[in-house]
Amino acid sequence: MRYYKLPFIILFLSVFVSCIKSEPANAEADITACIVDGDILKKDPIIQNKRIQLFVKSDTDLSNQAPEFELTPGASISPESGTSRNFTTSKTYTVISEDGGSVKEYEVAYTISALGSEYNFEHVRLENDKYDVFYEVDGEGKTVMDWASGNVGFSIVGGNASPDEYPTSRLLNGKDGQGAKLTTRSTGTFGVQIGKPIAAGNLFMGEFDLANSITDPLKSLKLGVPIDFIPSALKGFYKYEAGPVYTNIDNEEEDQEDSWDVYAIFFETDEDLKFLDGTNRFTHPNIVSIARIPESERVEADEWTSFFIPFELVDGKQIDPQKLNDGKYSLTLVFTSSISGDLFSGAVGSTLLIDEVELIHADND
């Protein structure tokens, strides 16, 4: 009668060989934090997947800097964290994962020049071989700022889209030279699954935090870069065509016309507020002044059309020249092809073209 146990013994043995193994070594090779000495930073380091940007004060000695890095547990970096290097040009670091299987190169750049006030969208590079990134340069051709966009997010849902099928891409024939083309795109089945059925074309000063963009999209917009002038007005040229079918976040059609948007927000940073995000960009008490295109001008235009928007000072706000010198003020300038694109509502196909944008300020008006 003992034979009745046979199948159960075999079953037990098969479970035995199936037990959980010990945890594998980490396969990731990330720089998770970048620490620089003193208070030379004007802004927290921007850490992207393969690039770190450090905005430092103008009197910083770039020829001898020793940034320190925190890595994915178990990973190693070369040159070592804390090595002194000459950062008058950007430097490369190589991170190797704990399991040795992954190698990632980071470009680390110190930026000393302040952001200019004219934006012609002539400088574009292809990022990750997939999509366009606009950037600004100083008089010596060094990168001063990358324009942020949601392109990196679209690169995950967008399959094999070519660069000009991304929400934000270069416009070869702008008003003068190149311009920027922002197009509201469908994010396909995957985008619908994660509750983000469209991706509006956007271009802004700040960072797009991809990691958090799925869970908390409004917070993933980190708006603002340090600025050393006081803007009084925003001007530029646009063309706009609204897409035919307006849909909301549930991908349901709504009887509504899409619209574009542009706004600039000048605000003070402090210990608690390093940047504005999608939840507080018009309401945070640190905001000093706002320039936003009025509804009457957010219209379609098939010819290059100019806009001129004065900054309006928030009641009771004053600008402290000392803080301005210390880099305590930040500015964000935001363009989008769908005004409610941050809430995933808009019309696929809405297209905003922009070029020759300028911030008017005391030194240039």
Which residue in the set 38, 211, 302, 362 belongs to the binding site for other proteins (CB under 8 A)?
211
Shortest distance, position 353 Cβ to other proteins, whole Å: 27
Question: Please, which of residues 8-27 interact with other proteins by CB under 8 A?
Answer: 10-11, 14, 17-24, 26-27
Query: By CB under 8 A, how many residues form the interface with other proteins?
Result: 48
Tell me which residue has tokens 């402290």.
Answer: 320
Residue 156 binds other proteins, judged by CB under 8 A: yes
- Contact status: 214 vs other proteins (CB under 8 A): yes
How far apart are CB 263 and other proteins at their closest, in Å? 27
Q: Please, which residue, 21 or 322, has the CB nearer to other proteins?
A: 21
Task: Please choose, from the candidates 348, 35, 46, the residue with its C-alpha nearest in 3D space to the C-alpha of residue 197.
Answer: 348
Backbone angles phi, psi at 37, to 5 degrees: -75, 160
State yes or no: residue 193 binds other proteins (CB under 8 A): yes
Left, alpha or beta for 177 (phi > 0: left; psi -120 to 50: alpha)? left
C-alpha–C-alpha distance, residues 119 and 134, integer Å: 10
Query: Is residue 149 a contact residue for other proteins (CB under 8 A)?
Result: no
Q: Are 114 and 228 within 8 A, CB to CB?
A: yes
Buried/exposed 49-60: b ≥16 CB within 10 Å, e otherwise: eebbbbbbbeeb
Site string for other proteins, 110-129 (x = CB under 8 A): ------------------x-
User: In the set 194, 249, 290, 313, which binds other proteins (CB under 8 A)?
Assistant: 194
**Helix ranges (DSSP H) in the chain:** 6-16, 151-157, 188-193, 321-325
Site membership for other proteins, residue 64 (CB under 8 A): no
Q: Which is nearer to other proteins, 106 or 240 (CB)?
A: 106
Shortest CA distance to 263 belongs to which of 348, 206, 320, 184?
Answer: 206
Q: Cβ(115)–Cβ(225) under 8 Å?
A: yes
In angstroms, give the least distance from the CB of 270 to other proteins.
27
Q: Closest Cα partner for 151 from 204, 189, 87?
A: 204
Other Cβ atoms within 10 Å of 126 Cβ, number: 11
The structure tokens listed for 216 are: 């908390």
Q: Exactly one of 64, 129, 140, 215 binds other proteins (CB under 8 A); which one?
A: 215
Residue 157 or 230 having the CB closest to other proteins? 157
Q: Which is nearer to other proteins, 11 or 172 (CB)?
A: 11
List of residues contacting other proteins (CB under 8 A): 3-4, 6-7, 10-11, 14, 17-24, 26-30, 49, 97, 101-104, 128, 152-153, 155-159, 188-195, 210-215
